[in-house]
Amino acid sequence: MNLMRRTVLATAAALALTPATAFAQETIKVGEINHYKRLAAFAEPYRKGIELALSEINADGGVLGKDLEFIFRDDQGDPAEAVKIAEELMTRDGAVMFTGSILSNVGLALSSFANEKKYLYLAAEPLADTLVWTSGNPYTFRLRVSTWVQAAMLAEEAAKTDAIKYATIAPNYAYGTDAVEAFKTNLKMLKPEVEFVAEQWPALFKIDAGAEVQAIERAKPDAIYNVTFGTDLAKFVRQGTDRGLFEGRPVYGLLTGEPEYLEPLEDEAPEGWFVTGFPWYGFEDGTPGKTFVDAYEDFTGETPKIGSLVGYMTAQSIAAAITKAGATDTEALRMAFEGLEVEGTPIGTLHYREIDNQSTLGAWTGTTAVEDGKGVMVDWTYNDPAPYMPSDEEIMEMRPAE
């Protein structure tokens, strides 16, 4: 009898914290799942961006008359652990939805779980396009710019050169494979005669950079497409520079211009690569971007990273969706996210497309350089994603029927 009584009480307690009864709580809670320990260089600025946005949102009255609260949990880079945490956040901790995940394989697991359980998931950071296209579902929305779009921007620049033979290097998981396929497809559409003479697939954060550089050099490519990031990027750059791999060859780098990855290289940063990134140091006074940079520096005492921007806009998006919904139940929030307009972001107005639940965050492209002993982006521009997206018809064919 005692065991039965405890079971009934535990079940009742769990039900009391479901999203449908979240209004009974003092705050509106959102679960945030990420790889905080191993990817601290990205995850910590991301968290600080969220905290800045929360400080502004709550100082302005919160949402629906309550403070917005994020519950931060570490997924250890394990999809199964992330799903377990998501369940706990929703049923035990009273979260109305969950967000986060840097790694695409974790994001895909959370997306599948959200669809199965009818929970709402904002994939703030995962870059694999399968999240919103081939594996898309009504309960998953994505903030970060599409990998396809960023690769298309790099391919557009690559098509302007005389290079015909390309080598690629990318981490061997969902994001890396999507990024390579997107670049190849876009470049071949623009320049059908190109060839891909080498494809290197190091395991994430386990790169043997010397061997990878040797393999690429043996293929004698005219140009290189790089998707490595973090410590893998640092090792690849150092080995490639030492062995002369980049001399006389254009290099196109997805994410390479992001401060998380470029700044640690200091004066060893590559020069002349065409990259996507986040040139926060070049924003002009009076622009939304500069307003964000100044607020972030005042709040944290640090310079922002791309993660800072993504975290900030994640909290802004969720606050806007809850306000629009006027409620915190899943279906109200899901409908609010469809076609959501988020005002006052660092890029201006952000929109979530109804066709695929993808945001309209664009990307900065430019060329790497070393200034004052630091890697930076120069000659950069901010690019709207719309011209680089597949057609609506192509996206509808990719997305599963709902």
pLDDT digits (tens, 9 = 90+) for 162-187: 999 999 999 998 889 989 999 999 99
The per-residue pLDDT for range 1-25, each reduced to its tens digit, is 344 444 444 444 444 444 444 445 7
The pLDDT of 328-347, averaged and rounded, is: 98
Domain 2-146+286-361, CATH: 3.40.50.2300
Say if residue 308's pLDDT is above 50.
Answer: yes
Q: What is the 3-state secondary structure (H, E, C) of the chain?
A: CHHHHHHHHHHHHHHCCCHHHHHHCCEEEEEEEECCCCCHHHHHHHHHHHHHHHHHHHHCCCECCEEEEEEEEECCCCHHHHHHHHHHHHHCCCCCCEEECCCHHHHHHHHHHHHHHCCCEEECCCCCHHHCCCCCCCCEEECCCCHHHHHHHHHHHHCCCCCCEEEEECCCCHHHHHHHHHHHHHHHHHCCCCEEEEEECCCCCCCCHHHHHHHHHHHCCCEEEECCCHHHHHHHHHHHHHCCCCCCCCEEEEEEECHHHHHHHHHHCCCCCEEEECCHHHCCCCCHHHHHHHHHHHHHCCCCCHHHHHHHHHHHHHHHHHHHHCCCCHHHHHHHHCCCEEEEECCEEEEECCCCCEECCCEEEEEEEEECCEEEEEEEEEECCHHHCCCHHHHHHHCCCC
pLDDT at 11: 42
Say if residue 402's pLDDT is above 90.
Answer: no
The pLDDT of 123-138, averaged and rounded, is: 94
Q: Is the pTM of this model over 0.85?
A: yes
CATH class given for the domain over 148-280+363-392: alpha beta
pLDDT at 25: 76
Q: Same fold for the domain at 2-146+286-361 and the one at 148-280+363-392?
A: yes
pLDDT at 56: 98
The per-residue pLDDT for range 47-95, each reduced to its tens digit, is 999 999 999 999 999 999 999 999 999 999 999 999 999 999 999 999 9
pLDDT at 174: 83
pLDDT at 7: 41
pLDDT at 6: 43
Query: For the chain, how big is the Rg over CA atoms in Å?
Result: 22
Task: Give me the residue spans of the domains in the chain.
Answer: 2-146+286-361, 148-280+363-392
Task: Report the percentage of the chain scoring pLDDT > 90.
Answer: 89
* Residue 248, both tokens: 């006389």
The pLDDT of 387-397, averaged and rounded, is: 96
